């Protein structure tokens, strides 16, 4: 059973007008959006790296990953620093979001499967959808958002 199935708390954030959630178990911290150092020859989904207490942390643009559209930053933009399991180790990386909203407690039986059509994000990234008010929170499976190529590039950036 994955950590996503055990924990029912999700950090929610906005991205391009949609509400997303990630399991709080993979969230390390939330930091104010600041200077990201560009690294040559990166794919468009990776913006570069930030210096987080002496460690080079790769930063991904989820807008580019999901919709092939750069995320426009504002004063509410943040970098959510996440950690995902990769084989025997862990990979730390940041994702740029429009704004962080809140932590929601979501009962497992209220999570609906991802729709097979009409979603604004590829459905293989979606853990499920949870009703929130009049809309839905798209719950992301961060282990699937990153492909093997992405993970290899993140590991290379982290080691730089």
pLDDT band at 147 (very low <50, low <70, confident <90, very high): low
Name beta bridge partners: 61: 96
Instruction: Calculate the average pLDDT of the chain.
Output: 84
Rounded to whole angstroms, how far apart are CA atoms 20 and 119?
12
Is a pLDDT exceeding 70 seen at residue 19? yes
Nearest 5 degrees, angle CA 71-CA 73-CA 76?
A: 125
pLDDT over 60 (residue 6)? no
pLDDT band at 158 (very low <50, low <70, confident <90, very high): low
Average pLDDT of the residues in 110-136: 79
Write out the E strands in 42-141: 46-52, 55-61, 78-86, 89-97, 99-105, 111-112, 126-132, 135-140
Spatial CA neighbour of 51 closest among 26, 81, 13, 90? 81
Residue 142: pLDDT band (50, 70, 90) is: confident
Structure confidence at residue 122 as a pLDDT band (50, 70, 90): low
**Residues 55-82: what's their mean pLDDT?**
88
């Amino acid at each position: 059973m994955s950590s996503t199935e055990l924990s029912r708390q999700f950090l929610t954030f906005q991205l391009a007008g949609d509400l997303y959630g990630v399991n709080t178990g993979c969230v390390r911290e939330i930091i104010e959006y600041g200077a990201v150092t560009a690294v040559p020859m990166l794919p468009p989904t990776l913006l570069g790296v930030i210096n987080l207490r002496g460690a080079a942390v790769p930063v991904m643009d989820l807008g580019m990953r999901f919709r092939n559209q750069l995320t426009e930053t504002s004063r509410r933009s943040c970098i959510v620093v996440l950690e995902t399991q990769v084989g025997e180790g862990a990979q730390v990386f940041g994702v740029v979001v429009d704004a962080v909203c809140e932590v929601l407690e979501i009962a497992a039986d209220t999570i609906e499967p991802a729709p097979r059509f009409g979603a604004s994000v590829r459905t293989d990234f979606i853990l499920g959808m949870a009703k929130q008010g009049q809309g839905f929170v798209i719950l992301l499976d961060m282990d699937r958002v990153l492909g093997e190529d992405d993970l290899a590039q993140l590991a290379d950036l982290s080691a730089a």
